[in-house]
Amino acid sequence: MNAAEVARERIRKGLWKGPTPGFAAGYTQANIVILPKQYAFDFFLFCQRNPKPCPILDVCEAGQYRPLLTAPSGDIRTDIPKYRIYREGILQEEVEDILDFWSEDMVTFLLGCSFTFENPLIKAGIAIRHIDEGKNVPMFITNIECKPAGVFSGPMVVSMRPIPSQLVDQAIEITARYPKVHGAPVHVGNPEEIGIVDVNRPDFGDTVTINPGEVPVFWACGVTPQAAVMRTKPEIVITHAPGHMFITDIQDEELKGL
């Protein structure tokens, strides 16, 4: 078994119920969106039109809970530590598996996650503040509207990392190599320009310290589909809980330049 398979099995058996950063290092972690087939084409289109916040790693056929191309031994219904159930666009509950919610009608999307580019940043000597502070990354709803698709529309959600000003160019260059996991930043500097009123009050995740001489840098974020789901209000949508990702058999290095 590879490290991803070991990690998925631990989660499946209920031996790990927390966030997944650092699990199966080097293996790509994915955002998950599961919805009824009647919404699947429109959501696919939404992702295709908004590849920066919604980069598609894999899509499963209706009822298929094994991602045959990216984690054939995995089980989408059990291999995530914590799921979120949205009904009519409202977060109703968090659960540890979705066996009771699954049906032959459910279509699963696996989307890239910025965890993949954080390792290369760290290797290049660019510290990641939320990791150093033991927190979740701060995320903000912006005034950048995604391209609508069918019934789906919504604002782009971004994640923010404070970067020392002299390292910003390098951070842009490194993350640009990973378009399948959000790629280069969508905004650098003044948060108000993208509709963020207070950079110390994120809409999701935690507040992190921004030191003098550091610039807030904003990347498109995989929570964007959850904002679209909240606006569109399908009967049911299931996602991972923030930070509790699905671990694939893809290696981060394979995504370079794709």
* Binds its own copies (CB under 8 A): choice among 149, 171, 196, 245: 149
Does residue 177 interact with its own copies by CB under 8 A? no
Rg value, the chain, Cα: 17
Report CA-CA distances (Å) from 179 to 17, 44, 77, 106: 30, 17, 27, 27
List b or e across 110-148, with b for residues whose CB sees 16 or more CB atoms inside 10 angstroms. Answer: bbbbbbbbbebbeeeebebbbbeeeebbbbbbbebebeb
Q: Look at residues 81, 109, 100, 114 and name the one whose alpha carbon lies nearest to residue 8.
A: 81
Tokens matching residue 243: 């930070």
Q: How far is the CB of 24 from its own copies (least distance, A)?
A: 24
Q: Is 35 in the site for its own copies (CB under 8 A)?
A: no
CA-CA distances (angstroms) from residue 20 to 60, 82, 92, 102, 249?
A: 22, 10, 22, 23, 15
**In the window 92-131, what residues touch its own copies (CB under 8 A)?**
107
* Minimum gap (Å) between residue 131 Cβ and its own copies: 31
H or E element in which residue 26 lies? none
Of the candidate spans 18-26, 40-48, 74-82, 112-120, the one that interacts with its own copies by CB under 8 A turns out to be 40-48
Whichever of 183 and 191 has its CB closer to its own copies, that residue is 183
Site string for its own copies, 124-143 (x = CB under 8 A): --------------------
Q: How many residues make contact with its own copies (CB under 8 A)?
A: 16
Instruction: Kindly state whether residue 49 participates in binding its own copies, applying the rule CB under 8 A.
Output: yes
CA pair distance 204, 75, nearest whole angstrom: 27
Q: How far is the CB of 195 from its own copies (least distance, A)?
A: 24
Q: Contact between 44 and its own copies (CB under 8 A)?
A: yes
The span of 43-51, 81-89, 133-141, 204-212 binding its own copies (CB under 8 A) equals: 43-51
Contact 56, 47 (CB under 8 A): yes
Q: In the complex with its own copies, which residue's Cβ is closer, 46 or 204?
A: 46
* Residue 76 CB, nearest approach to its own copies (Å): 16
Is 184 an interacting residue with respect to its own copies (CB under 8 A)?
Answer: no
Closer to its own copies by Cβ: residue 20 or 232: 232
**Of positions 18, 22, 72, 150, contacts its own copies by CB under 8 A:** 150
* 22, 33, 116, 222 from 245: Cα distances, Å: 11, 11, 12, 11
Q: Which chain residues interact with its own copies by CB under 8 A?
A: 37, 40-42, 44-45, 48-49, 56, 59, 61, 69, 107, 147, 149-150
